[in-house]
């Protein structure tokens, strides 16, 4: 209805879907779910990286998480955890939406994402799919199957 509501709110939120226009996050608290939390964690990880890199905020360390991985507790960066979760997602609609958000972020802020281990920089060299470098030095693409095998050199004394 014309003349009703807050015009600033209307600029940021799609009134029909009740989602933000840029990140497609639910604004109705009862509708907030895993998808919104996953996008928010990803954005948080990338913008703390910008804070460390551009603003030289040395007091803002990378987020590290202890998480079960291959049956053992491992220290993972937030980007590694995001990658681990991303590679287990099966909702194709969400994946499409999430890739669109990442692509938009990379287009706008790409020059600031200089840390190589950030999820947004973790793409397959062959097809560009996200989530190529897995935690614990494993490199393979779930989409095209491209793989780099790291050989470990054993030194006998």
Half-sphere exposure at residue 39, Cβ-oriented, CA atoms within 13 angstroms: 23
Report CA-CA distances (Å) from 8 to 11, 12, 14, 25, 148. 5, 7, 12, 17, 48
Q: Residues 25, 29, 30, CA angle at the centre, nearest 5°?
A: 110
Average pLDDT over residues 83-111: 91
% residues pLDDT > 90 (the chain): 40
| Banded model confidence at residue 80, pLDDT cuts 50, 70, 90 | confident
Could you tell me how many helices (H) and strands (E) the chain has, helices first? Answer: 4, 7
| The predicted structure's pLDDT at residue 135 | 74
Beta strands, E only, the chain: 13-14, 19-20, 64-69, 72-77, 133-134, 138-140, 147-148
Give the closest residue to 82 by CA, choosing from 140, 132, 137, 142: 132
Q: Of the ranges 29-33, 70-74, 109-113, which one carries the lowest mean pLDDT score?
A: 70-74
CA–CA gap between residue 21 and residue 2 (Å, rounded): 20
pLDDT tens sequence across 22-31: 999 999 999 9
CA–CA gap between residue 7 and residue 70 (Å, rounded): 50
Average pLDDT over residues 102-111: 90
Domain locations in the chain? 33-122
| The predicted structure's pLDDT at residue 71 | 81
| The predicted structure's pLDDT at residue 5 | 63
């Amino acid at each position: 209805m014309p003349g009703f509501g807050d015009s600033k709110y209307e600029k940021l939120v799609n009134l029909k879907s009740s989602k933000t226009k840029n990140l497609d996050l639910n604004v109705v608290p009862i509708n907030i779910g895993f998808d919104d939390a996953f996008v928010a964690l990803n954005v948080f990880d990338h913008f703390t990286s910008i804070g460390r890199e551009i603003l030289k905020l040395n007091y803002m360390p990378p987020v590290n998480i202890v998480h079960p991985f291959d049956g053992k507790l491992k220290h993972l960066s937030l980007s590694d955890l995001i990658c681990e979760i991303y590679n287990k997602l099966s909702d194709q609609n969400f994946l499409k939406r999430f890739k669109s958000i990442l692509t938009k972020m990379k287009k706008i802020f790409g020059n600031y994402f200089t840390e190589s281990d950030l999820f947004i920089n973790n793409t397959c060299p062959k097809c560009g799919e996200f989530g190529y470098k897995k935690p614990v030095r494993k490199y393979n693409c779930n989409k095209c199957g491209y793989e780099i095998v790291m050989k470990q050199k054993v030194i006998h004394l």
